[in-house]
Amino acid sequence: MRALAAALLVLLLGTSARAERLIVSVSNHRVTVTPNYSGEELVLFGSVEKDAATPADRTAYDLVVTVMGPRADMVTRRKERTFGIWINTDYRQFLQVPSYLALFANRPFDSITSPEIARRQQIGLNNVLLTQRVSGDYADVVPNDAFRSAFIRLRTQRGLYREDASAVTFLTPTLFRTGIPLPAEVPIGTYEVEIKLFANGAFVGKTETAFEIVKVGFEQFVANTARQNGLVYGLVTAAMALMTGWMASIVFRKD
Amino acid sequence: MQLYLPIADLPVNVFLVLAMGAAVGFVSGMFGIGGGFLMTPLLIFIGITPAVAVASVASHIAASSFSGALTYWRRRAIDPALASVLLCGGVTGTALGVWTFTQLRALGQLDLMIALSYVVLLGTVGSLMFSEGLRALMRTRRGAVPPRRTHNWIHGLPLKMRFKRSKIYLSVIPVVVIGIVIGFVGAIMGIGGGFILVPIMIYILRVPTSTVIGTSMVLTLVTMLFATMLHAATNHLVDAVLALILMVGGVTGAQFGARAGQKIRGEQLRLLLGLLILSVGVRFAVALVIRPEDLFTIRELGVGG
């Protein structure tokens, strides 16, 4: 019993001593989307801090950065030819999936770690958990499922899902940086950033940070009012229409 | 200059939207119509979702029909009694239309229904107008007298009412029904319905040309204002920024269009309008029949949790 406890202690000490520390920071923790916002790129900086217990032979590290936007329910629909025209027929509902999802690494995912670890750590768009509701059941499906791949493809086309295995660059063997591109139609909310460290194919440790995207100015005020006070918003819009029409009839009056 | 549309959730070029508003305004001024059937498809074409396009165009049409209605009011070319009866139907139809719109959206069949309605309605109205314009043109070439209008079964219906300014004696039933239909299709398709209403009022109700456009504009104005409010309150889809740009472009373009319209003869004008309506209908039909570039679409159901 005592021997077992001692063995466990050694193991624990060993684990904690082996863990490199990751120190990261984002260039901007609060991104403001203004009416003329047309996309931006954040920069994530970080360094791998070794301590005395780090094995001397461990010099090369691999990093996978996952950026996840606010979660939302989404529906993917498929069109089929019915009576000669293309109609939405089948659909799948994706539950609480990230509205923005980016996976960055310093080299191809499959050369960083084994497929088994990649699946467990959700490395790569094929391995990220996207829960679907399939006839009452909640589950993710195989990566080559038609709805799942169409969902990822469409999000990728809009620049909202991305995967880049060369986005992380090591400035020195321990100092790294990566850009986080945010397209013009970026969803607002809190973004979680997860940085996972690998060495020789093994998962070594991870750290997390976050940033926030907020809309400011007139347009955000408009969007908020439209959602919260629909009736007032409708009345104001109607009044605006009447004003514009009335002004035009005054300005262009011929007699 | 790029501007971010808050509800449509996408950046657009202000000058492009302004130019589109002016172009549609020009056409609408030329033919004396609201122009919704052109504006909504154009917005869909630049990437705005059909739902937001339909809801936002409603307020744009309200603005242009208000400036038109004011002009006709000053010329005493509006029949208040006829307009009120039409409105009874129009308001009911709009409420039904917005309700149907919400249901279809939840089912994921809204875009299809919008496209189908465009094909059926514009196809029918466009071909009727085109063939009628063609016949009228041939008649004037031959110098023949247009056939005398006769009363039809509509004039045998009960609940008759006298509409003084239009100088007609007519049952209220067809008037209310027409109001309901126009309000309903208007709310679903994002059109004012002037291009259908005016021919119906002339050929079926026999409303004289002196009051027909002014009165139809009143119906368009009220149903579109009502549609704007309902779309805003229930579906939160009205983009006020988009609507404002369209309005400013639209009312300006309409003035120049009206001047251009006076230089063209009536039959030719109808022929042109018929052709225009028909081509928009055909454009939608083609889009339905050819295989879409992408069979899959995504709709976000709102950010949660």
What is the DSSP code (8-state) at residue A193? E
At residue A176, the pLDDT reads 92
B:112-141 residues touching chain A, CB 8 A cutoff: 112, 116
At residue A19, the pLDDT reads 64
pLDDT at A1 exceeding the cut of 60: no
Average pLDDT rounded to a whole number, residues A142-149: 82
Residue B261: phi and psi, rounded to 5, are: -65, -30
Average pLDDT rounded to a whole number, residues B244-267: 82
pLDDT at A103 exceeding the cut of 90: yes
At residue A68, the pLDDT reads 93
Strand partners, B244: none
Q: Give tens-digit pLDDT for B17-27.
A: 999 999 888 88
Average pLDDT rounded to a whole number, residues A96-105: 91
At residue B165, the pLDDT reads 78
* CATH code for residues A21-216: 2.60.40.3880
- Length of chain A (residues): 255
Q: Which amino acid is at B178?
A: I
Pick B63's closest partner by Cβ from A38, A234, A245: A245
In terms of phi and psi (left: phi > 0; alpha: psi -120 to 50; beta: otherwise), the region of A128 is beta
Taking the mean position of all CA atoms in its chain, how far away is CA B194? 5
pLDDT category of residue A6 using cuts at 50, 70 and 90: low
Average pLDDT rounded to a whole number, residues B151-168: 74
How far is residue A243's CA from residue B247's CA, in Å, rounded to a whole number? 10
The pLDDT mean for chain B works out to: 83
Cα separations (Å) of A94 from A68, A78, A97, A146, B305?
A: 15, 14, 6, 13, 14
State the angle between helix axes of B14-31 and B240-261 in degrees (0 to 180), rounded to the nearest 10.
40
How far is residue A149's CA from residue A163's CA, in Å, rounded to a whole number? 14
Q: Give tens-digit pLDDT for A180-235.
A: 998 877 888 899 999 999 888 888 888 999 999 887 777 778 878 888 888 888 89
Pick A99's closest partner by Cβ from B62, B294, B303: B303
B305: which residues sit within 8 A by CB, 6+ positions away? Answer: A71, A96
| Residue A16: both structure tokens together | 């904690």
Q: Taking CB atoms and an 8 Å limit, are A85 and B301 in contact across chains?
A: no
Average pLDDT rounded to a whole number, residues B35-41: 86
B chain contacts of residue A236, beta-carbon cutoff 8 Å: 240
CATH 2.60.40.3880 location in chain A: 21-216
How far is residue A174's CA from residue A179's CA, in Å, rounded to a whole number? 17
How far is residue A117's CA from residue A137's CA, in Å, rounded to a whole number? 26
How far is residue B72's CA from residue B87's CA, in Å, rounded to a whole number? 17
The pLDDT mean for chain A works out to: 82
pLDDT at B305 exceeding the cut of 50: no
B97-109 b/e (C-beta count within 10 Å ≥ 16 → b)? bbeebbebbeebb
For residue A83, give the chain B residue with the closest CA: B289
For residue B253, give the chain A residue with the closest CA: A248
At residue A2, the pLDDT reads 55
Q: Taking CB atoms and an 8 Å limit, are A76 and B297 in contact across chains?
A: yes
pLDDT at B75 exceeding the cut of 90: no
pLDDT at A67 exceeding the cut of 90: yes
pLDDT at B282 exceeding the cut of 70: yes
Burial label, A236 (beta-carbon count in 10 A; 0-12, 13-18, 19+)? middle
How far is residue A140's CA from residue A161's CA, in Å, rounded to a whole number? 17
Pick B4's closest partner by Cβ from A36, A230, A246: A36
At residue A65, the pLDDT reads 93
Least confident span in A59-63, B146-150, B237-241, B288-292: B146-150
Q: Taking CB atoms and an 8 Å limit, are A36 and B2 in contact across chains?
A: yes
| Residue A94: both structure tokens together | 């994706």
A chain contacts of residue B229, beta-carbon cutoff 8 Å: 231, 234-235, 237-238
**Helices and strands in chain A, H and E counts:** 6, 14
* β-pair type (A137-139, A132-134): antiparallel
Q: Are B4 and B239 in contact (CB under 8 A)?
A: no
Q: Give tens-digit pLDDT for A28-50.
A: 888 887 767 778 888 999 998 88
Least confident span in B4-8, B82-86, B191-195, B276-280: B4-8
* Rg (chain B; Cα; Å): 19
pLDDT at A4 exceeding the cut of 80: no
pLDDT at B15 exceeding the cut of 50: yes
Looking at per-residue pLDDT, the higher value among B292 and B211 belongs to B211
A-B contacts at Cβ under 8 angstroms: 200
- What is the percentage of chain A residues whose pLDDT exceeds 70? 89
Residue B241 sits at the chain A interface (C-beta within 8 Å): yes
pLDDT category of residue A3 using cuts at 50, 70 and 90: low
- What is the percentage of chain B residues whose pLDDT exceeds 90? 8
Q: Which amino acid is at A242?
A: L
| Residue B56: both structure tokens together | 């936002």
Residue B244 sits at the chain A interface (C-beta within 8 Å): yes
Looking at per-residue pLDDT, the higher value among B148 and B116 belongs to B116
Residue A17: phi and psi, rounded to 5, are: -70, -30
At residue A50, the pLDDT reads 81
At residue B33, the pLDDT reads 77
Pick B300's closest partner by Cβ from A81, A99, A223: A99
Neighbour tally for B150: CB within 10 Å: 7
Looking at per-residue pLDDT, the higher value among A207 and A3 belongs to A207
How far is residue A162's CA from residue A157's CA, in Å, rounded to a whole number? 9
Q: Taking CB atoms and an 8 Å limit, are B112 and A88 in contact across chains?
A: yes
A chain contacts of residue B243, beta-carbon cutoff 8 Å: 237, 240-241
Half-sphere exposure (CA, 13 Å, Cβ side) for B175?
27
List the domain boundaries for chain B: 2-142+151-289
Q: Shortest CA distance to B211 belongs to which of B45, B20, B117, B83?
A: B83
At residue B147, the pLDDT reads 56
How far is residue B182's CA from residue B236's CA, in Å, rounded to a whole number? 23
pLDDT at A10 exceeding the cut of 50: no
Give the minimum alpha-carbon distance from B156 to chain A in angstroms, rounded to a whole number.
Answer: 39
At residue B111, the pLDDT reads 80
Residue B303 sits at the chain A interface (C-beta within 8 Å): yes
Q: Taking CB atoms and an 8 Å limit, are A87 and B112 in contact across chains?
A: yes
Q: Which amino acid is at A26?
A: V
Average pLDDT rounded to a whole number, residues B58-66: 87
Q: Shortest CA distance to A67 belongs to which of A198, A214, A196, A205?
A: A196
Neighbour tally for B295: CB within 10 Å: 16
Pick A219's closest partner by Cβ from B6, B228, B236: B6
At residue A12, the pLDDT reads 46
* β-pair type (A30-33, A202-215): parallel
Strand partners, A185: none
ipTM of the complex: 0.78
At residue A186, the pLDDT reads 83
How far is residue B97's CA from residue B126's CA, in Å, rounded to a whole number? 23
Q: Taking CB atoms and an 8 Å limit, are A38 and B2 in contact across chains?
A: yes
Pick A241's closest partner by Cβ from B116, B247, B292: B247
| Residue A3: both structure tokens together | 């021997």
pLDDT at B103 exceeding the cut of 50: yes
Residue A159: phi and psi, rounded to 5, are: 80, 10
Q: Shortest CA distance to A48 belongs to which of A17, A25, A21?
A: A21
At residue A35, the pLDDT reads 67
DSSP H or E stretch at residue B15: helix B14-31
Which pTM was predicted?
Answer: 0.72
Q: Give tens-digit pLDDT for B173-209.
A: 888 999 999 999 888 888 888 888 888 888 888 888 7
At residue B150, the pLDDT reads 58
Neighbour tally for B230: CB within 10 Å: 24
